[in-house]
Structures are given as structure tokens and as C-alpha cells.
Amino acid sequence: MAGTAVLRRLTWAVAEVVDRIGETPRVLSLTCDVPDWPGHLPGQHIDVRLSAEDGYQAQRSYSISTPADGTRLTITVERLDDGEVSPYLTDVLEVGDRIELRGPIGGYFVWEPSRGGPLLLVAGGSGIAPLMAMLRARLQAGSDVPVRMLLSWRSGEDIIYADELDAIARDATGVEVTHTFTRSAPDGWTGRTGRLDRAALASLAWTPSERPLAYVCGPTGLVEAVASALVELGHDPARVLTERFGPTGG
């Protein structure tokens, strides 16, 4: 059944960084090759642990942004200026370096095509990471579950996976992607601006009678506002799943 874990110990594995992709000036996708990786479901995350020579350790969770792919997984990391872990991942780690991680973790905030839809994916900023795993899995599986993805960015230069999302919006059937900008829109933008408030969701999301599965991920404030609004609009709270990663995240 989707999301169930085999009874096994959660152990730290040493993985190798095999690729680094700059997504935006502050966001980087890191692909790792993990020995004995059992595979993962879209929405699951890993814990990453950094260890200094003096014994100090720091640990953070990162959503996997790719569907299962043998022993490989990708995380998408936003560099937080005062972060402990993210600046190391974005600035110091190079292809060929090794990194300690454990997972996959998560059984609640998980989607795979067999769970059906229609699917509503709502994200703020780097909250898009687990939803991108879901969207990529839906496409890879050739599933016909209809998807509406609503993405809130501060400005045009913050769009993660920009080219891929454009291509998907253009070419994929049954997938709609809507962007909104809360601080400054790209030049020539004629689309939506402002927050994903109740009115925006009423107009963009599926109707409650369509009984969508909604996944909302991002900073706590956005997730709180969107999840409450969806419930107020009449969506079943049990079908509105959230992943808040706090005001910062690491």
C-alpha cells in the first residue's frame, strides 16, 4: 500500500553528490547517489546530517524533488543567509563530495498516481520541491490524473524549475500551472499578482464537489492561510495535506 514502510531501521548512509544544478541565484538542486537506496515515494523527505571535525553535528530535513530513480535522489535547497546547513550545501559541497543522509521519511504527505485526484498542488517558494516530485511522477507514469499547480513567488527571479514548468504547462495534457508574484512580477507579466488568498483559490482551485487531493507546502504563514482558505471554501480537511517547514528551514 502506498506510503507503508517496510519494518527496517532508519540508518545514516553516506551518499555521493553526483550533480549540482543552479535553479535560481539562491536555490540549488543537488543529486545524490545513495548506496542501497530502497526507492522513495513523491512527497517523502530525507534528513541530512553534517558533522564537523570537533564533533559538532547539524541536521535538517529536505524534500526529495524527483520521483524514484534507482539509487538517485535530488533535493532542492534554498540558501538561507543565516542558515547553518543550507549555505554548506549550496556553497561548499561539490560534485564528488560525500554527504550523510537517511530516509526516505514520510507517509502522510505522499502522493502517487494510484491515490488519484484531481490533484491540487500549492506551494510558496522552495516549498515546491516535494510537489515537483509528485508532478514529475505523474508525468513519468503517464497518469491522466488532472493537476492544477498554484505557485507563489516573491519575484520573477525566484521561480524554481522555470523552464521545466513552462514546458509542462505548454505540452502536458491535464496539467495547469499558475504563477503569482507577491513582491514584483517579471517584466511584461500580464498574469496574476498578489497572495494566494481565498478569492484566488476560489477561482483557481478545483471545486469542493470535485473532491481534489490538495498538497500545500511552503513557509508556515502561507500554508496556514491556504489550508484554512481551502477548508473555508468547503474542501474536506482530510484531503488538504500540509507540509510546513517553518519560517526558515535550515
Partner 1 sequence: MTDATHVDGNALGGLLMEVFGREMTDAHGCCASCGKVHPLGAMRVYRSAGDVMRCPTCGNVTIVTVVIRERTRVHLGGVRWIEPLA
Partner 2 sequence: MSFISRGFQRRQAPTAPSDRVPPGQYVTRDFPVLSAGPTPRIGLDEWRLELVGELDQPRSWSWQEFTALPADEVTVDIHCVTKWSKLDSAWTGVPLDALLDGLDTSAAFVVAHSYGGYTTNLPLDDLTGGKAWVAYRYDGEPLAAEHGGPARLLVPHLYFWKSAKWLRAIELRNDDAPGFWEGYGYHNYGDPWQEQRYSGD
Site for partner 1, rule CB under 8 A: 1, 3-5, 7-10, 45, 47, 61, 102-103, 105-110, 219-221, 224-225, 241-247
Closest to partner 1 by CB, 6 or 92: 6
CB under 5 to 8 A by kind: which of partner 2, partner 1, none does 98 bind? partner 2
| Alpha-carbon radius of gyration of the chain | 18
**Is residue 79 within 8 Å of 28, Cβ to Cβ?**
yes
- In angstroms, give the least distance from the CB of 54 to partner 2: 8
Compute the CA torsion angle 1, 236, 143, 5 (nearest 10 deg).
-20
Closest to partner 1 by CB, 46 or 165: 46
Closest to partner 1 by CB, 133 or 175: 133
Per-state percent for the chain, helix, strand, coil, to nearest 5: 25, 35, 40
**Is residue 64 within 8 Å of 37, Cβ to Cβ?**
no
- In angstroms, give the least distance from the CB of 21 to partner 2: 20
Q: What is the rounded distance in angstroms from the CA atom of residue 107 to the CA atom of residue 177?
A: 26
Q: Rule CB under 8 A: which residues touch partner 2?
A: 12, 14, 50-56, 58, 82, 84, 88, 92, 97-100
In this structure, what C-alpha cell is assigned to residue 217?
Answer: 507546502
Closest to partner 1 by CB, 125 or 219: 219
Furthest-apart CA pair in the chain: how many Å?
57
CB under 5 to 8 A by kind: which of partner 2, partner 1, none does 51 bind? partner 2
CB under 5 to 8 A by kind: which of partner 1, partner 2, none does 221 bind? partner 1
Give the pairing type, strands 119-124 and 27-33.
unpaired
